[in-house]
Amino acid sequence: MGCSFSGLNALYDTVGGGGGDIWVNDYRFRVLRRLGDAGPAGSSVFLVKEVVAAAAVSDGTAGAGPGAAGLAKKKGVDPSHISADGTYALKKVFIQSDQHLELVRQEIRVSSQFSHPNLLPLLENAIIAVKGVQDGSQNHEAYLLFPVHLDGTLQDVTKSMQEKKEYLSTITILQIFRQLCAGLKHMHSFEPPYAHNGVKPDNVLITQRKEQPHLAILMDFESARPARRAIRSQAEALQLQEWASEHCSAHFRAPELWECPPHADIDERTDVWSLGCTLYAMMYGKSPFDYELDESAGESLVTVIKSAQVKWPTETGSSYPDTLRQFVTWMLQPHPAVRPNIDDIIIHVDKLIAKHSI
C-alpha cells in the first residue's frame, strides 16, 4: 500500500492543530503533533497514535490498552518499546536525490535486521514518489515508524543536570553504559559484524522508570555498515576517511577513521572508541577531546585524538572513582589492535557494577 493520507497535507495541517490521519502500509495513525526536525531540510518527526478500535474489537484485545493491540501486537514488539497509550514516532524524510534515496533504503535494510531491547527498532516504513511543488519534478518521501521515548536523549539528561551543577552517579552511569554495550554486542555479533558508527550521547534515548534503572536505547542507524574492511591502497584509505568525515561525529571518531594507513584492517572496535568517548561524556557532559586546543603548540583535533590526549576535569562535584577513569582510558587505545572488543568491555563493566552496587 505504501503511505497515504486523509488529505495530502494532513501532516502539515496537524502542526497547526488541524488533526489528520495517515496510513503507513496497513496501519492507520492519528497525527498528534510535530516533535522536531530530523536531518535534511524538510524532514521532521511527528508524534502519532495508532487507530486500532476496529481491529481491537475483532481480535478480542479491546480491553488490553492501546499499546498492547494493533501494530505492536502483530509485530511482536519488545515490551520495552511499547508505549502505554499506543503512540509512536513517525519520521518523515524529504528525499531530493537518487544518492539520498539509496542512503535511506540502506538505513531501512540495516535497521530491519536488528531486534534488541537496547536498539531502537524500525517498526514500519514506506517510500512514496511525490511531485515537486514548483517544477513538477519527481522526488520521494520516506516514512519511518519507531517506538516513541519522550524523556529525551542522554545528551539532554547530562546537559540538564550540569545546568543544575549535578552529575550522574557512578552506578547510574554504569547501568546506562551496560545497556549500550548490550545493544552493540547484538550488532557486533552478526556475520559479518555491523558497526554503528554513530555512538554518542545524542544517539542514546533515555527513559526514566520508577524504582528501576534508566532504560537506554541506541538509535539512528543511518551510518551503520558492515564493520570489517580490508584497506589495501591509499585510494581505499582516503575513500574511508572521506566517508567517515561525512558520517561520523568528529569528537567521537576513532583515530583509524581520521588517518587510515594504506594497509589496515578496520573492524567493529571503532565503536569501542566511541563508547569510551560516550562514557566520558556521561561523566563530564562532553567528549574527552572537546576542549580548547593549543594551536601554537601544534595541537589539532586529529593530533589529540591520535595520541589520546584526555584531559580530566577537576571541578568539585564531578569526582569519579579512578576505576571509571581507567575504564575510559582502556577503551581509548589509539591502536585498534590493542583496543578491547565489546565482550571484553561487558566483562569489565559487569565487574564494576558489582563493585559499585555494594
pLDDT > 50? residue 8: no
| C-alpha to C-alpha distance for 269 and 161, rounded to whole angstroms | 30
- Cβ neighbors of 114 (< 8 A, separation 6 or more) are 121, 186, 187, 221
Q: What is the pLDDT of residue 137?
A: 62
Of 83, 117, 147, the domain-final residue: 147
Least confident of 166-175, 198-207, 216-225, 304-313: 304-313
212 plus 348 within the same structural domain:
yes
Summarize the confidence of residues 154-183 as an average pLDDT: 95
For cell 583509524, the residue is 256
Task: Quote the distance between the C-alpha of residue 132 and its chain's center.
Answer: 31
| C-alpha to C-alpha distance for 94 and 73, rounded to whole angstroms | 29
Under 8 Å between Cβ of 19 and 13: yes
Under 8 Å between Cβ of 64 and 56: yes
CATH code where residue 141 lies: 3.30.200.20
Percent of the chain with pLDDT over 70: 85
Q: What is the pLDDT of residue 64?
A: 44
| C-alpha to C-alpha distance for 169 and 348, rounded to whole angstroms | 18
160 plus 143 within the same structural domain:
no
Q: What is the mean pLDDT of the chain?
A: 86
| C-alpha to C-alpha distance for 241 and 246, rounded to whole angstroms | 9
314 plus 194 within the same structural domain:
yes
**If you ran DSSP here, which 8-state letter would residue 119 be given?**
B
Least confident of 11-15, 94-98, 99-103, 257-261: 11-15
178 plus 64 within the same structural domain:
no
Binned at pLDDT 50, 70 and 90, residue 66 comes out as low
Q: Which residues does residue 119 pair with via DSSP β-bridges, in sequence order?
A: 218
Binned at pLDDT 50, 70 and 90, residue 17 comes out as very low
For cell 536525490, the residue is 97
111 plus 7 within the same structural domain:
yes
Question: Could you give phi then psi for residue 114, rounded to 5 degrees?
Answer: -95, 140
For cell 522508570, the residue is 209
Of 147, 172, 207, the domain-final residue: 147
- Residue-wise pLDDT for 205-232, tens only, equals 999 888 888 999 999 999 999 999 999 9
125 plus 107 within the same structural domain:
yes
Binned at pLDDT 50, 70 and 90, residue 337 comes out as very high
14 plus 36 within the same structural domain:
yes
Q: What is the pLDDT of residue 210?
A: 83
Under 8 Å between Cβ of 178 and 346: yes
Q: What is the pLDDT of residue 13?
A: 46
Domain count, the chain: 2
Summarize the confidence of residues 15-39 as an average pLDDT: 80
Q: How many CA atoms lie within 13 A of 260 on its CB side?
A: 27
Under 8 Å between Cβ of 293 and 300: yes
Which value, in Å, is the radius of gyration of the alpha carbons in the chain? 22
Under 8 Å between Cβ of 22 and 3: yes
181 plus 250 within the same structural domain:
yes
Under 8 Å between Cβ of 24 and 4: no
Range with top average pLDDT, 77-91, 104-118, 143-157, 261-275: 261-275
Q: What is the pLDDT of residue 69?
A: 60
Q: What is the pLDDT of residue 54?
A: 54
pLDDT > 60? residue 112: yes
Binned at pLDDT 50, 70 and 90, residue 61 comes out as very low
DSSP of 45-66: EEEEEE--HHHHHHHT-TTS-G
CATH code where residue 248 lies: 1.10.510.10
Of 147, 181, 202, the domain-final residue: 147
Domain with 326, as residue range(s), is: 154-356
Task: Quote the distance between the C-alpha of residue 50 and its chain's center.
Answer: 24
158 plus 77 within the same structural domain:
no
- Residue-wise pLDDT for 277-307, tens only, equals 999 999 999 999 988 777 666 678 999 999 9
Q: Please state the pTM of the whole predicted model.
A: 0.88
132 plus 164 within the same structural domain:
no
Range with top average pLDDT, 18-22, 146-150, 183-187: 183-187
| C-alpha to C-alpha distance for 310 and 322, rounded to whole angstroms | 14
Q: What is the pLDDT of residue 75?
A: 72
143 plus 265 within the same structural domain:
no
Local structure of 23: helix, strand or coil: strand
pLDDT > 50? residue 57: no
Q: What is the pLDDT of residue 271?
A: 98
227 plus 272 within the same structural domain:
yes
Binned at pLDDT 50, 70 and 90, residue 325 comes out as very high
Under 8 Å between Cβ of 287 and 309: no
